[in-house]
Amino acid sequence: MSFLPHGMAFRQALHRLAGKPLSTLLSALVVAIALTLPALSYVLIDNLASLANGVTGKPEISVFLKKEVTAEKAQAMENRLRADKRIVAIRFIGRDTALKQLAARGGFADVTGALSENPLPDAFILEPGGEDPKVFEAIRTSLTAMPEVLHVQLDSAWVERLHAAVELGRWVALLLAALLGTALIIVTFNTIRLQILTQRHEITVSLLLGATRAFVRRPFLYFGLLQGLLGGVLAWGMVQGLVLLIAPRVQALARAYNIVVDLAGPSVWQGLALLVFAAVLGWLGAGLSVRRHLHDGAVD
Amino acid sequence: MIRFEHVSKRYDGGHEALANVSLEIRHGELLVLAGHSGAGKSTLIKLIAGLEKPTAGKVWVSGQDVGSLRQNQLPYLRRSLGLVMQEHRLLTDRTVYDNVMLPLLVTGYPPRDAAKRVRVALEKVGMGTFEKAMPLTLSGGEQHRVAIARAIVNRPSVLIADEPTAHLDPAYAREIAALFRSFHAAGVTILLATHDDTLFSPYGARRIELAKGRLLA
Ligand SMILES: Nc1ncnc2c1ncn2[C@@H]1O[C@H](COP(=O)(O)OP(=O)(O)OP(=O)(O)O)[C@@H](O)[C@H]1O
Ligand SMILES: [Mg+2]
């Protein structure tokens, strides 16, 4: 089998695209907009994920003790905790120390001064070893079960929440991609349907003169592929542009939280993946359309 | 070469267009198929080209049972036939040259030799100087000749034409008839469906006639 018919079909498809620049551009824009939303979400989620990965350092576990726990009992508990191999470091912060620390923080002096009684509990600050969230969770459970303990707070909780949010965001991006990918297929399906209608006569004559169905099909498939590809290129540019547009705003917001964020656009690989995705969906939409519309009475 | 064995054709919801037709067209023959309008002439041609399937019986072309050919085998059957359909079906948005090029294009003929073949075919039908013309600017007779050039450009061993002289004034009709005569002289098997079979009687053509779908003895 020679490549000649493929080259010819490819040129024919290019010719059709170039022959109607305005409608080509419009279709490609529709495809691009359909692709931009999921692609942009994906890129933003990706940025959030790398941010979340950057802050998974050392979590702290704060253990607040009940008021009735005496100093001896607290000491006994500290000894027990030191024996626990999952815990790397322990710091005891007595309720008085805690109050002084609070008072030292700007703005709280008046409040603490006005209190007749210290409302703060004794506390331990633990530093667990490793980075396994399951281990942290296990430590928290065993601590909570101890009779002396009032409340346990895992300081890495917000990091976990961030990770969960990223996970959710990924799902949403995927869902959007599926939804708008379907839209892309439908757009191509319809474009090709109209083309087949306007070229019905040429198709009929070609089949009459001995063209195979594959031969007739091919230019439409290439058309779908090229239109998808063009839409993909536009979408890549749009995502890049939107990232540049929102980056300064995100940075301003991040600075308010003392975080340094460098918003990155899609990587080359992500861009290429986008192009492949767009091209494959275009091809698919064209294929479905051709399968559906070339059957009904193309010849007589 | 072409053989009909008790062939009947009934269109969906219609009456019988062909009823129990048996005939044989031999290699190198010039056969004229006569018959009134609606007799089934076009139907017979469509069965040969695999554009329709027989309801009963078998149609054999070059040893192949056309009715049982699969969709992907039909193109190769059609390439061995030169077809001039009743409506000449030129592509109106392409030049005469491109129209005649089409059969070579769809069969993947090498482009360099193709150009030469197109010119030869156009010369044969006397349209050599109309290469760049658009079909709609041509007269009916000229369009017919382009359609014939398109049918012979693949050098088929069988040439089948449906009403090639219909709607032509007598002078044009005689011209076209002479053209088929010359192809026949060159050894091509020819089947012509026509109302006007007197045109071909001087050429010693065999004549068969259909009436209401039946072959008259
Ligand atoms: N696609 C079709 N569907 C239903 N009936 C058809 C179809 N094509 C032809 N017929 C019918 O079959 C019969 C034979 O038609 P056909 O076209 O073969 O006749 P014909 O001899 O070629 O006539 P003409 O000389 O007018 O071209 C006619 O009654 C016609 O109405
Ligand atoms: Mg007819």
Contact of B71 with chain A, judged by CB distance below 8 Å, is answered with: yes
Which amino acid, residue A70?
T
pLDDT tens readout for residues A216-262: 999 999 999 999 999 999 999 999 999 999 988 888 887 877 777 77
pLDDT, position B134? 95
Q: Is the pLDDT of residue A112 over 70?
A: no
Which amino acid, residue A252?
A
Residues of B in contact with A212 (CB under 8 A): 72, 75, 106
User: Would you say B158 and B191 are in contact if contact means Cβ atoms under 8 Å apart?
Assistant: yes
Q: How many CA atoms lie within 13 A of A266 on its CB side?
A: 25
Q: Locate the DSSP E strands across A130-282.
A: 149-154
Confidence of residue A300 (pLDDT cuts 50, 70, 90): very low
Q: Is the pLDDT of residue A298 over 60?
A: no
Residue of A205, A208, A210 lying closest to B107 (CB–CB): A210
User: Distance of CA B203 to CAs A37, A219, B26, B28, B180, Å?
Assistant: 73, 45, 17, 14, 10
Contact of B76 with chain A, judged by CB distance below 8 Å, is answered with: yes
User: Would you say A259 and A159 are in contact if contact means Cβ atoms under 8 Å apart?
Assistant: no
Q: Is the pLDDT of residue B119 over 90?
A: yes
Q: Is the pLDDT of residue B104 over 90?
A: yes
Mean pLDDT lowest among A56-60, B69-73, B93-97: A56-60
pLDDT, position A228? 93
pTM: 0.73
Q: Is the pLDDT of residue A100 over 50?
A: yes
Confidence of residue A36 (pLDDT cuts 50, 70, 90): very high
Nearest atom within ligand 1 for CA of residue B43: 18
Contact of B79 with chain A, judged by CB distance below 8 Å, is answered with: yes
Report percent pLDDT > 70 for chain B: 99
Q: Is the pLDDT of residue A297 over 60?
A: no
Q: Domain locations in chain B?
A: 26-53+71-216
Distance to chain B for A204, nearest Cα, Å: 9
Averaged pLDDT of chain B: 89
CB contact under 8 A, A202 and B83: no
Q: Which fold, B26-53+71-216?
A: Rossmann fold (3.40.50)
pLDDT, position A54? 63
Q: Is the pLDDT of residue A299 over 50?
A: no
Q: What span, in angstroms and rounded, lies between the C-alpha atoms of B186 and B189?
A: 9
Averaged pLDDT of chain A: 84
Residue of A5, A202, A210 lying closest to B78 (CB–CB): A210
Domain A60-155, CATH 3.40.50.1400 — does that match?
no
Question: Which of the pair, A239 or A159, is modelled with greater confidence?
Answer: A239
Confidence of residue A114 (pLDDT cuts 50, 70, 90): confident
What count of other Cβ atoms lies within 10 Å of the Cβ of residue B148?
25
Residues of A in contact with B89 (CB under 8 A): 201, 204-205, 208
Name the residue with the closest Cα to ligand 1, atom 3: B11
Look at strands B81-84 and A61-65 and give their pairing.
unpaired
CB contact under 8 A, A205 and B89: yes
- Tell me the average pLDDT across B119-139: 92
Q: What span, in angstroms and rounded, lies between the C-alpha atoms of A298 and B88?
A: 17
pLDDT, position A4? 59
Query: Which residue's entry shows tokens 């519309």?
Result: A293
What count of other Cβ atoms lies within 10 Å of the Cβ of residue B166?
14
What count of other Cβ atoms lies within 10 Å of the Cβ of residue B131?
14
CB contact under 8 A, A210 and B154: yes
Q: Domain locations in chain A?
A: 4-55+160-294, 60-155
Return the HEC string of A252-270: HHHHHCCCCCCCCCCCHHH
Q: What span, in angstroms and rounded, lies between the C-alpha atoms of A61 and A90?
A: 10
Residues of A in contact with B106 (CB under 8 A): 206, 209-212, 215
One DSSP character per residue, B113-173 reads: HHHHHHHHHHHHTT-GGGTT--GGGS-HHHHHHHHHHHHHTT--SEEEEESTTTT--HHHH
Q: What is the interface size between A and B, counted as CB pairs within 8 Å?
A: 52
Name the residue among A200, A193, A202, A201 with its Cα closest to residue A220. Answer: A193
Which ligand is nearest the CA of B195, by number?
1
Task: Supply A291's token pair.
Answer: 């399968």
Distance to chain B for A283, nearest Cα, Å: 22
User: Would you say A287 and A224 are in contact if contact means Cβ atoms under 8 Å apart?
Assistant: yes
